[in-house]
Amino acid sequence: MAGRRSVWGDERVRELAQQFVCAADETWRLQNGKDAECRFFQKIASQGHYQAKGGTRQGYYAIAPNGTLLASANSRSGEAILAMMKRALVAWDALDATRHVLPADTPFEPEHRWEASYPTGGLVFMRYVRDILGSDRRWNRDYAWFTRDEVKELTSLPPRPGATRDWPQRLAARLARFHLVDNVRGQTLPFAAGEIERADLRFTVVRATDDAIDLELTGKTHAVAKGPWLLGKTDWTPTEDFPRTMTTTIFGRARFNRRSQRFVTFSFAALGTRTGRTGNDGRNKESPEPTAMGFAFSLARGDVTLAPTFLEFYPDKWVKRPHDLGYGEHK
């Protein structure tokens, strides 16, 4: 996470990046998956800075469109990534121009990606999370998705001040299970449905016109994981029990355009108290005492279609899963 700023905060990196097409992706699937996209990546990355069989392939790779690896590195240093990019451009210039294009017979299309479930016309949040006490400035981000039909459910309330609409329990619980989680310092685990002891969210109409409804969101959530993993065998299944809790209070405001049936503004915060930890959340060296966390949700940019980390656990039929498309689980 620290590399976000240390690398991309370097103006020289951002400037030189204009000579590349920039892409970002999740490496676990790419380095372990079996579809054409994954195999194409594996062939390239196995020539890079990490070559140990079964080891991570995290980092930066400069690649010609025909699959030639130009240079690679994994570093939080802007200087190191800049040097790698310069090496890559030298190698690029030395390549025969035929290598600047993707050969027509090169398969690299994925069989399944979670982005295929992107809820066009729905509600997409960017979510930031951080500790709100103490001096640690780390933070993390993720996305939360609601479909157009779910937006319709959420906003089915009379357009008069004071009218209220309790969120359907399954949508409130989904927020608590997958988005009000402690991944400030790294990846964590979701909560199971049975671990949500409270998820009460309510819209209240503040103002209404022919064009728009202004809403306030209030709510409280409480999740308690006693330890054992309850979500079956997945790539996330931990090897030990992780008891933990998350309790939050929520407030927010939104403007819903009645004509377009879209939210034009929507931001809310959740202030929470967490206890416990998971295997990769970076809390293993901390006091086990409760600590305070804050979550900030706002509308994501329309061009960001990145899937929520725990989309595969959303209990909804609109999520397109690999077996829905006739493929195995190639994560």
Partner 1 sequence: MTTTAVHTAPADDAVLNRATLDAWIDRITPPEDERIDETIPWRTSFHQGMAAAAAARKPLLLWVMNGHPLGCT
Residues in region 113-172 near partner 1 by CB under 8 A: 113, 115, 128-134, 136-137, 139-143
Question: Which of 27, 47, 120, 164 contacts partner 1 by CB under 8 A?
Answer: 27
Give me the least distance between CB of 139 and partner 1, in Å please. 5
Q: What is the DSSP string of 95-136?
A: S-GGGGS--TT-----S--GGGG--TTSEEEEEEEEESSSS-
Which of 199, 252, 276, 313 is close enough to bind partner 1 by CB under 8 A? 252
d(CA 261, CA 11): 40
Closer residue to partner 1, CB minimum distance, 88 or 151: 88
Q: Please, what's the b/e burial string for 221-256 (b: 16 or more CB within 10 A of its CB; e: otherwise)?
A: bbbbbeeebebeeeebeeeeebebbbbbebebebbb
Confirm or reject binding of residue 264 to partner 1 (CB under 8 A): no
- Residue number with CB closer to partner 1 (108 or 194): 108
Question: How far apart, in whole angstroms, are the C-alpha atoms of residue 213 and residue 163?
Answer: 11
Q: How far apart are the first and last CA of the chain?
A: 22
Q: Which of residues 49-68 bind partner 1 (CB under 8 A)?
A: 56-65
Of 62 and 176, CB closest to partner 1? 62
**Smallest separation, CB 328 to partner 1 (Å):** 18
Element (H, E) at 38: helix 36-45
Instruction: For the segment 267-326, give every residue that binds partner 1 (CB under 8 A).
Output: 267-269, 271-273, 284-287, 289-296, 298, 304-309
Applying CB under 8 A, which of residues 100, 160, 226, 323 lies at the interface with partner 1?
100
Q: Under the criterion CB under 8 A, does residue 102 sit at the interface with partner 1? A: yes
**According to CB under 8 A, which residues from 222 to 241 bind partner 1?**
none
Which position among 78, 82, 85, 180 is part of the footprint of partner 1 (CB under 8 A)? 85
Kindly identify the residues of this chain, within the stretch 166-205, that bind partner 1 according to CB under 8 A: 183, 186-187
Shortest distance, position 159 Cβ to partner 1, whole Å: 20
Asked whether position 78 contacts partner 1 by CB under 8 A, the answer is no
Q: Is 14 in the site for partner 1 (CB under 8 A)?
A: yes
Contacts of 208 (CB under 8 A, 6+ apart): 159, 160, 161, 214
Q: 35: which 2 tokens?
A: 């579809």
Applying CB under 8 A, does 250 fall inside the site for partner 1? Answer: yes
User: Which CB sits closer to partner 1, 46 or 267?
Assistant: 267
Give me the sheet containing 262-276, strands edge to edge.
139-146, 123-131, 291-299, 262-276, 244-257, 212-225, 196-208, 164-166
Minimum distance, C-beta of residue 105 to partner 1, in the bound complex (Å): 13
Phi-psi domain of 276 (left: phi exceeds 0; alpha: psi -120 through 50; beta: other): left
Q: What is residue 147's DSSP assignment?
A: -
**Which range of residues in 146-154, 226-234, 263-271, 321-329 is near partner 1 by CB under 8 A?**
263-271
Q: Does residue 94 bind partner 1 (CB under 8 A)?
A: no
In DSSP notation, 235-261 reads TT--SS---EEEEEEEEEEEEEETTTT
In the numeric block, the tokens 């001040």 are attached to 161
Q: Closest approach of Cβ 324 to partner 1, in Å?
A: 19
Task: Return the range that interacts with partner 1 (CB under 8 A); candidates 38-46, 157-165, 191-199, 254-262.
Answer: 38-46
